[in-house]
Amino acid sequence: MATLQSLLEDIKKRNKGESEFHQAVEEVFASLEPVIEKYPEYLESGLLERFCEPERQIMFRVPWIDDKGQARLNRGFRVQFSSAIGPYKGGLRFHPSVYLEIIKFLAFEQTFKNSLTGLPIGAGKGGSDFDPKGKSDSEIMKFCQSFMTELYRHIGDSVDVPAGDIGVGSREIGYLYGQYKRIRNEFESGVLTGKGIAYGGSLVRKEATGYGLIYFVDEMLRDNGHVMEGKRIAISGSGNVALYACAKAQELGAKVVAMSDSNGYLHDENGLDINLLIRIKEVGRGRINEYLEFYKNATYVEKPEDVWSVPCDIALPCAVQNEIGLREAQMLLDNGCIAIGEGANMPTTNEAISLLIEKGVLLAPAKAANAGGVATSALEMSQNDMRLKWSFEKVDNMLKEIMVDIYNSAKFAALEYGLDKNYVAGANIAGFMRVAQAMKEQGVV
């Protein structure tokens, strides 16, 4: 008879060398132990094995011509992980660190996240090893057009709906959509989300992941006798998620004193000027160290991983996977950090999660806390379906409600299994149960 442990070993054997995917599965299996004890049929029927196997993985060649007339070559991916509760849904990551297994772990995480939103969206993820940094607008466009020339055959508003992630913002979505529309000869606005407002994008989508993170963390703090007001916050990353998490945290009265990028971290004890940072990053497409030209008291240290050495009450990892290991977790504990809100996907190692929870740090897990982006993407799909355009306030209120619901789902799932305040386990359990129920009713497919 299979056990959780023997299944985990089998999954590791079947996916040799895929350390991030192994890590993601290990974390989930640790959470599901009490669930499988109560419902062994999820294991005995092979459902859990199917749950951890992507429905489809697609890899394709992406040739393009650079501004010098040189032929360039990248690789594209799309992992369509689960369609149990809706069409595949998840971002596209353009970054040189991308390869198939990275996309697979991200797509696996998306299964739980999309389930927790309560909306009809399955799980997928895609991307490329293309590096947008240092590329001209024309090169970005030519790459996106070539990428979509391959991807279009695999997506659709009821099949698979990509969106943004690292290196993919509304500019890239626009170029991808333009090529898709040209090939399909059809205005299928719901096929991509994160679109520009002029042609079907939803208000709040740009801000959603960052805002949603703060809504979740604020709910978690309040439920545990704390307030956001007056708290010191350190954030890793300075992209779409980090910038809008910073803006909303400051709106709620917190002081954000540090933010990072892949070259280092910015520190301003007076609190970062978020409007300047948004101008530098979004308008100028510049680097955060340009901030020093405006604020002489600020510092920029060329060690991104040491952003967590800046004393803070709340840490918001909003960059990449595994940026908080045991070393960084100890830095946070030594500085009296009381809460962590994961804006990035899988930013904390399993060892660091165990240490932080053991020490009583309130940990808002990525699958739950950063679901605001995909939830608002689903709201964009709904508006597109109905050919409607909702107001910023309407969408923002829906986002806030969804994030509070997600918090409560994680909280009460943890409580049901005697795992009070273990929001990592609660999110994994609540996310799993909805998809597992759908899989059970749909048969062995």
Ligand X SMILES: N=C(CCC(=O)O)C(=O)O
Question: Binding-site residues for NAD(+), please?
Answer: 209, 240
Residues 69-108 that bind ligand NDP (CB under 6 A): 91
Taking the CB of residue 203, how many other CB atoms lie within 10 A of it?
20
Is there binding between residue 319 and ligand NDP (CB under 6 A)? yes
Calpha distance 375→402 (Å, rounded): 8
Residue 241 partner contact from ligand NDP, ligand X, none using kind-dependent CB cut-offs of 5 to 8 Å:
ligand NDP
Among 163, 203, 274, 310, binds ligand X (CB under 6 A): 163
Known catalytic membership, residue 125: yes
Among 262, 270, 391, 437, binds ligand NDP (CB under 6 A): 262
Is there binding between residue 111 and ligand NDP (CB under 6 A)? no
Q: Edge-to-edge strand order for the sheet containing 232-236?
A: 299-301, 264-267, 255-261, 232-236, 314-317, 339-341, 362-364
CB 94 within 8 A of CB 135: no
Specify the DSSP element, H or E, that contains 236: strand 232-236
Residue 240 partner contact from ligand X, ligand NDP, none using kind-dependent CB cut-offs of 5 to 8 Å:
ligand NDP
Active-site residue (options: 16, 38, 68, 125): 125
Calpha distance 441→174 (Å, rounded): 38
Q: Calculate the CA dihedral of residues 10, 107, 31, 245 and round it to 10 degrees.
A: 150
- Per CB under 6 A, the segment of 40-48, 88-96, 180-188, 249-257 that binds ligand X is 88-96
Residues 185-244 that bind ligand NDP (CB under 6 A): 209, 236-242
Using alpha carbons, select from 169, 171, 322, 297 the residue that is nearest to residue 236.
Answer: 322
Is there binding between residue 91 and ligand X (CB under 6 A)? yes
Among 18, 139, 160, 165, binds ligand X (CB under 6 A): 165
CB 248 within 8 A of CB 258: no
Taking the CB of residue 316, how many other CB atoms lie within 10 A of it?
33
Residue nearest to ligand NDP (CB): 239
Among 164, 201, 341, 426, binds ligand NDP (CB under 6 A): 164
Among 149, 193, 236, 321, binds ligand X (CB under 6 A): 193
| All residues at 6 or more sequence positions from 34 whose CB lies less than 8 Å from its CB, including other chains | 417, 418, 419
Is there binding between residue 268 and ligand NDP (CB under 6 A)? no
Please list the active-site residues. Answer: 125
Binding site residues, ligand X, CB under 6 A: 89-91, 113, 163, 165, 193, 345, 373-374, 377
